[in-house]
Structure 1
Amino acid sequence: MNILKSLTFEPALGWVAGGLLSGLLLLLAIALVIHGLRKGRDTDADRWALARRTAMVLILALMVLTPSTVSRTTNKAVNATDVFIAVDVTGSMAVKDAGYGAQDGISRLEAAKAAVRGLVDTYPDASFSALSFGASASVDLPLTPDVRAVDNWARGLATEPTSRSSGSSLDAPLDRLTLALKQTKDQHPNDRILLYLISDGEQTGRDERRSFSVLREGLDEAFILGTGSAKGGPVPLTSDVGGSGAGGWVTDPQTGQPGISAMDPDTLKAMADEMSGHYQALAKGVTVREGATASVSKRYRVTTVDQVRRHVTPLVWPLALVELVLILVEAGQWVRTSRRLL
């Protein structure tokens, strides 16, 4: 009874062509019946032959309509979240004018590290990829669900040595991010992709900053986290062996005095707007668990969704079997009639 309830017609040729062909076969069956009844005794075909041939045509008409059974299955689809984190490690990130949560007077990079640890807690079960950028950019951590690897990466972050610094270029990570986002989109088309870029917004490079709008297509959400203060502070010299405090400050070549680096919120907001994203300033009493991140993170969790799929199975073989039997009977009758006529 369940099979009968699930029976339907799904013409293999489509409803237009299949319906037209089936209609022509139905007209042929009616013509056979009318012809047989009109001829009566004037033909050698008895009523059994007429019924058999009519049944053959009607079965063909049904086969063209492709009787099928419909079944439904429920699949569980997992929607995963991939979080890309890009951290500015230029020399200005060593300035101690930043705050995060209960901390104050810490370096901008220390605030960035605390923000990374907060992001790991904010997105449980997500996968993370980490990138650092200064004079150049590098993907330090490919996409991984290992949160300990992300934490170890954050702990090991250090500002680039002053001797290698050639000015801050905020668009340094663009090429790396574009490639990484495209690869992720190709390999995991159903994943949600988020970007967090942490910087002080200082652009001191000679070239004009490129637009971040090229990343918009590959992202579901984008966040720019600003660290530092508008007042700013002197930039400490950084040694080649890592760490600040190598002795003295980075001097302004025009004045010969220690240069002052300040956070540029306008540039950071512009970067966020280019990606249709969100801007949030990190400061004392503020963490990534608040503001735009807090509301968005609830939507981008690993979720399981039930997807109902409809499966159509053609059920033509029983009709084909009956058709074959009728054809064999018709062929047998034809051979017997032919021998009798001889």
Structure 2
Amino acid sequence: MTLLPEVSLPLLLIGVLVGVGFCVWRAAVARRQLVAWIRRGVLVLLVGAMLSHPGVPGGLVPTGSISAKVIIAIDTSQSMAAEDYGDGVRLDGVREDVKDVAYAFAGADISVMTFNSTANLNVPMTGDGSAVIEMVRALRPEIAQKSRGSSISAARDLLVQEVDKIHAADPGDPIIVIYMGDGEQTSADPVESFADIKGKVAGGFVLGYGTDQGGKMKQSTYTGLSDEYVQDPTNGQDAVSVIDEGNLQQIASETGLTYLHRDAATPLKPTLQGISGGGDAEISMEQMRESRLDLYWIFAFPIAALLAWEGLHIARLIRKSIPTREKQ
């Protein structure tokens, strides 16, 4: 077991010893509150243990995954609600694939941006893969009434900005880009080139979702997907969204990334394990090193229980003091 204390270890030890010593002294002089002071002493020990940030070896992980900076760009236009991804919609496939990316790059810094007619940075660079998974799990397509047409290059400027920012701050870290979309361009704006990031990234994928047959789309609302389908204004029938692999392959060519068509029957995980690329840095997913499994969170449960007990104790003392004050 190893310790990565949140504060200086000697300072933490002194603080714990002082706190426990005070509780022991109070327990000795105030025998009627013996249990309360024992409880408080245990609470001090648990908080000290939590702040020491203990951990154990967590198995081997790729060294490339730990040093990499991963940028995920997700298309959230209305067409990502098309019902042509297995038994679900395209965005369901995105959610599963993001989970695989987070696991494959455990320990890496990951950021997530979404785009439709505009682009937003939803999750800045973070080492918390679970936060990335939870955010993407809550994603939904752009509200149909607000849609002004989607552009497959809406994320271009933000993506270039993030890549340049990483290069300036951590020039030695490899950058992985994962672009996820259906390639459908409904905006009247011209498609912009992604060529500015070519050579600056170490690898990644352009992942395409959807089929040539296409699928109908339930309208996205403020409360989720409705029961009504998006209508084609030209004929009044249910609109059908079709993947445009030509656009996606063009983005892959401009960025130097690999294009991969996604379907519900094929997991992404095996492909991620073999990721490699050129650019300013190289990633070896074969070189392994020991990772660390944090254990500090375990102490949160007994700490919460003791705090609840302490709260009940204080509430009883307050309740007992009220009649006494009224008599006075």
TM-score (norm 2): 0.63
Structure 1 equivalent of residue 79 of structure 2: 92
Structure 1 residue ranges, 4+ long, deviating more than 6 angstroms after superposition:
301-304
Which residue of 2 is the match for residue 266 of structure 1?
246
Shift in Å, 1:295 = 1.6
The whole-number CA distance in structure 2 between the counterparts of 1:152 and 1:189 is 29
2:218 to 207, 230, 236: 236
Correspondences of 1:208-219 after superposition (within 5 Å)? 208-219=190-201
Larger radius of gyration: 1
More strand by share: 1
2:275 corresponds to which residue?
296
> Partner residue of 1:54?
none
TM superposition shift of 1:242: 3.8
Equivalent position of 1:188 in the other structure:
170
1:270-289 pair list within 5 angstroms: 270-289=250-269
- Unpaired stretches in structure 1, ≥5 consecutive residues: 1-76, 99-103, 305-342
Q: Compute the RMSD of aligned alpha carbons.
A: 2.0
Q: What does residue range 34-183 of structure 1 map to in structure 2 within 5 Å?
A: 80-98=67-85, 104-183=86-165
| 1:280-305 C-alpha deviation (Å, 9 max, x unpaired) | 111132122234x332167258867x
Three-state SS of the structure 2 residue aligned to 1:217 is coil
Alpha-carbon distance, 1:244 to partner: 1.1
Partners of 2:233 and 2:128 in 1: CA distance: 44
**1:173/1:242 CA distance change after superposition, 3 Å:** farther
Paired with 1:190 and 1:228, the residues of 2 have a C-alpha distance of 36
Distance 2:287 2:193 in 1: 31
Would the aligned equivalents of 1:160 and 1:242 in 2 still touch at CA under 8 Å? no
1:256 paired with 2:241, answer no
| TM-score, scaled to structure 1 | 0.61
Deviations 1:230-267 (A, max 9, x none): 1111121111x24112x422221211211110111121
Unaligned 5+ residue runs, structure 2?
1-62, 277-282, 290-328
Percentage of identical aligned residues: 27
Deviations 1:203-252 (A, max 9, x none): 1110221111112132111310111111111121111x24112x422221
Counterparts in 2 of 1:275 and 1:194: CA distance versus 1, 3 Å: same
Q: Residue 237 of structure 2: SS of its match in structure 1?
A: coil
Secondary structure of the 2:274 match is: helix
Give the 3 Å change call, closer, same or farther, for CA 233–88 of structure 1 in structure 2. Answer: same
**Distance in 2, Cα, partners of 1:114 & 1:156:** 12
Asked if the contact 1:89–1:159 (Cα under 8 Å) also holds between the matched residues in 2, the reply is yes
